[in-house]
Amino acid sequence: MNDLNERQRHQVVVIGGGFGGLETVRQLKKAEVDITLIDRRNFHTFQALLHQLAKGGLTPANIVARLYSIWSR
């Protein structure tokens, strides 16, 4: 193999910004790979708290987080 092939980083594509996708990205941040996260929405919703939002006990900001802000931590 030539030097160019040996130095190429792997590209990892994660489909979905749910709990599984976010955990995968978190674990791969330590690896020497380029990561791309694809989701049709740019936010993550903690669905277990939707009933409290519907009752007026929480605001949308309490159960929704932008994917970029989660990923950049």
Give per-residue pLDDT as tens, 8-39. Answer: 889 999 998 888 888 898 899 889 999 998 88
Which of 3-7, 31-35, 67-71 has the lowest average pLDDT? 3-7
- Mean pLDDT, residues 45-64 taken together: 84
Give per-residue pLDDT as tens, 36-53. Answer: 988 888 878 887 888 888
Is the CB of residue 19 less than 8 Å from the CB of residue 39? no
Please tell me the predicted confidence (pLDDT) of residue 37: 87
Please tell me the predicted confidence (pLDDT) of residue 15: 93
End-to-end CA distance of the chain: 37
Range of the domain at 53: 3-71
Into how many domains does the chain fold? Answer: 1
